[in-house]
């Protein structure tokens, strides 16, 4: 009997203590955080023991609206009167901060507001998932993008240490996007700013920091002050110029290429900058647009032409509403 007990105790000693059996490869991840970033192993194991895997997160990430809806339906999600009115009210409330962001960082108030409106309805919907749950679920249970979310999980743990924040309390989207402007952890660390100089970067509860952070993000991604964003175009040919559209979101099409292709440049300001060509699906066919550098800057926030156009058109509606009541 004593021998049996000894064998059992020995086996218990060598058995690995998994931090969370629902998260494959977690122990390897913890090893990396300890070795590369000097985290405490016991504290990380205690943290991840409290992480909950969410099947709803895995279902949500497989059906983003940008991929499942045509433009004319996607647009209606964001161009509603309630959101426009909320943007006007937010502008009135935070006019001084928005003016300062525009003056110092060059990004128009209406663009900042539109991003806040599209992302969270001006703070009305910042997400309901704990960030640690969202990032952990996707890092270890969603193989198609596991490397990306493992990196974001690392950045989240580092930023909570840098900002002296709770690791369990912050909430966000199913993808781990956080706060009023829905920054991913890596974007928070790189672009979030303490715009009110209180010693903290708070994009959850501090509109001043959120406004400054969004403006800083766009500026750092090449926003050109006082430059236009997009312009409608018409095509003289019978088929869409797929060779130009397929170039992607980054402006690489020269003005000469546009002219030779049969695309109209009548509405495009004179210049030598490169252009991106894209189409949006309307009920009666494809609508063609020319995007400049500022369009590309918005797509760095979300790599989708439909997202960027929703921001642009919502910004125009908010500005019209604000100017009508000034």
Contact in structure between 301 and 115 (CB atoms under 8 Å): yes
For residue 259 the two structure tokens come to: 């002219």
Please, what is the angle between helix 207-220 and helix 95-105, to 10°? 20
Tokens (6 digits) for 31: 């090893």
Please state, in angstroms and as integers, the Cα–Cα distance from residue 109 to each residue in 2, 114, 322, following that order: 76, 9, 11
Helix axis angle, 207-220 relative to 109-120, nearest 10°?
110
Contacts of 315 (CB under 8 A, 6+ apart): 108, 110, 111, 113, 114
**Catalytic site residue from 102, 110, 119, 152:** 119
Which DSSP state fits 232? E
Judge whether 318 and 114 are in contact, CB under 8 Å.
Answer: yes
Residue 256 appears among annotated catalytic residues = no
- d(C-alpha 149, C-alpha 169), whole Å: 19
Contact by Cβ (8 Å): 321, 84: yes
Please tell me the distance from the alpha carbon of residue 89 to that of residue 195, in angstroms, as a whole number. 21
Q: Which residues are catalytic?
A: 119
């Amino acid at each position: 009997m004593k021998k049996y007990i000894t064998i059992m105790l020995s086996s218990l000693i060598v058995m690995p203590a998994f931090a969370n059996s629902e998260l494959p490869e977690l122990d390897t991840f913890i090893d990396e955080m300890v070795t590369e970033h000097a985290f405490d192993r016991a504290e990380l194991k205690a943290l991840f023991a409290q992480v909950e895997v969410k099947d709803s997160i895995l279902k949500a990430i497989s059906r983003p609206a940008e991929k499942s809806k045509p433009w004319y339906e996607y647009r209606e999600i964001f161009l509603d009167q309630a959101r426009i009115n909320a943007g006007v009210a937010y502008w009135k409330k935070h006019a001084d901060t928005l003016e300062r962001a525009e003056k110092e960082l060059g990004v128009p108030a209406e663009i900042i507001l539109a991003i806040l409106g599209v992302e969270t309805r001006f703070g009305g919907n910042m997400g309901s998932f704990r960030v640690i749950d969202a990032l952990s679920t996707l890092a270890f249970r969603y193989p198609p993008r596991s490397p990306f979310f493992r990196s974001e999980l690392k950045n989240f743990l580092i930023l909570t240490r840098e900002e002296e924040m709770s690791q369990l309390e912050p909430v966000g989207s199913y993808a781990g996007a956080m706060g009023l402007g829905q920054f991913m952890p890596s974007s928070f660390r790189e672009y979030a700013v303490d715009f009110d100089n209180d010693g903290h970067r708070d994009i959850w509860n501090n509109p001043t920091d959120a406004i400054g952070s969004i403006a800083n993000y766009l500026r750092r991604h090449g926003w050109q002050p006082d430059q236009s964003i997009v312009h409608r175009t018409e095509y003289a040919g019978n088929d869409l110029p797929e060779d130009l559209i397929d170039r992607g979101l980054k402006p690489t099409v020269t003005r000469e290429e546009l002219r030779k292709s049969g695309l109209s440049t009548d509405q495009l300001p004179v210049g030598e900058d490169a252009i991106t060509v894209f189409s949006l699906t309307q009920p009666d066919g494809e609508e063609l647009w020319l995007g400049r550098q500022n369009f590309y800057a918005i797509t760095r926030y979300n790599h989708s032409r439909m997202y960027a156009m929703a921001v642009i058109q919502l910004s125009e509606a908010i500005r019209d509403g604000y100017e009508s009541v000034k």
